[in-house]
Chain A
Amino acid sequence: MAHRRCLHSALLHATALISLKKSPSLSIVKALTSKPNPGITTSNLEPSWFIPWSYIRHFSSRKSDDSENEAEMEESSDGEGESDEMASDMVRDYSPEEKEAEAAAIGYKVVGPLQRSDRVFKDYEPVFAVVQIGSHQFKVSNGDSIFTERLKFCEVNDKLILNKVLLLGSPTQTIIGRPILPDAAVHAVVEEHALDAKVIIFKKKRRKNYRRTKGHRQELTKLRITAIQGIEKPEIKTDGKPLKAAVKKPEKIAATA
């Protein structure tokens, strides 16, 4: 029963896509036959629940990635049916590495590995960078914490590398990017995923008996900036905090040497 429904919906979408399709993509389909096969075996677990979702998913996938998803869709038309639809849905939900990389580039960050043993938090250096994260720009320096929109695909204690650096500045030097600086990188660590304070949205039209109350909490991510690369840092001798200084000085010397 469920299989029939899946096939039916698959055929509907497939016919729509075939009309848009051009011939060279068929070769891509054949090349990619091997790829979603591992996905199929895992996705057969939950066929029925994914059917209504598949409608929405396919429309969005059409806009985002042409070759990958549409190739998978075409495969479904060839006769593998429900399982390939499920594969594209699973791909969207659990995002394999390629998807993560793309979405990360759009929202603009690169996820590095988790870390436990490294101590990355250095003292304050007077260097700052202007960094863009998903249409917000921040003037950032070592040891700052920043609230950004909730970033997908990162968990707490993840290292991030922010690529879009627009400006690097220090007391002695400024480097201006047009528009981006290619060799600059800003390292950050995800501190927490948090909700904003509650905001009450209250709408009222007077004398018309209309009143609506709604609460909203925005999802945020807190990032802590650990390092800025791409500019020469002026050396400064730190006198305060003898414990940390004793540890950090050999690190600094190693970094500058």
Chain B
Amino acid sequence: GDYSRLTRTITQQRIRALVLAHRDRDRDRKERDFCRLWITRINAVIRRVGISYSYSKLIHNLYKKQLLLNRKIFAQIAISNKNCIYMIS
């Protein structure tokens, strides 16, 4: 429509694009988005382990056993090798 034809709107939209890109990309936005993604994925895999086993319990156990350092990159492992996840939990 006009967004690609009229010069005035074009310049406005260009500025808007930069601003929105900045906002989506920076200020921890990416971190937050990915964190949420991973948490939901981990949760989905973990609930299959057994009745009343959930993400929160898993994280609690991880901190207890000093596995401090398995972050939400954990979720990647959960997708590729599920046996490892069962071993950990």
Is there an interface contact between B73 and A137, defined as CB atoms closer than 8 Å?
yes
Interface presence of B8 (CB below 8 A) = no
Interface presence of A178 (CB below 8 A) = yes
Q: Quick one: given A139-B76, A169-B84, are A178 and B22 in contact (CB under 8 Å)?
A: no
Is there an interface contact between B77 and A204, defined as CB atoms closer than 8 Å?
no
Total A-B residue pairs with C-beta atoms closer than 8 Å? Answer: 59
B18: chain A residues at CB < 8 Å are: 200, 202, 213
> In the bound complex, how far is the Cα of B71 from the Cα of A132, in angstroms?
10
> In the bound complex, how far is the Cα of B37 from the Cα of A241, in angstroms?
39
Is there an interface contact between B87 and A201, defined as CB atoms closer than 8 Å?
no
Is there an interface contact between B77 and A169, defined as CB atoms closer than 8 Å?
yes
> In the bound complex, how far is the Cα of B83 from the Cα of A171, in angstroms?
8
- Expressed in whole angstroms, the minimum distance between the Cβ of A19 and any Cβ of chain B is 38
- Expressed in whole angstroms, the minimum distance between the Cβ of A149 and any Cβ of chain B is 15
Is there an interface contact between A201 and B22, defined as CB atoms closer than 8 Å?
yes
Partner of B66, one of A164, A179, A199: A179
Interface presence of B65 (CB below 8 A) = yes
- Expressed in whole angstroms, the minimum distance between the Cβ of A2 and any Cβ of chain B is 44
Partner of B70, one of A166, A200, A201, A204: A166
Interface presence of A101 (CB below 8 A) = no
Partner of B87, one of A138, A176, A204: A176
> In the bound complex, how far is the Cα of B40 from the Cα of A152, in angstroms?
36
Is there an interface contact between A178 and B81, defined as CB atoms closer than 8 Å?
no
Partner of B69, one of A132, A138, A203: A132
Is there an interface contact between A178 and B67, defined as CB atoms closer than 8 Å?
yes
Interface presence of A40 (CB below 8 A) = no
Known: A128-B80, A202-B22. 14 other contacts (CB 8 A): A130-B70, A138-B73, A139-B77, A139-B80, A166-B69, A167-B70, A169-B81, A169-B84, A171-B81, A174-B84, A174-B88, A176-B67, A200-B18, A213-B18
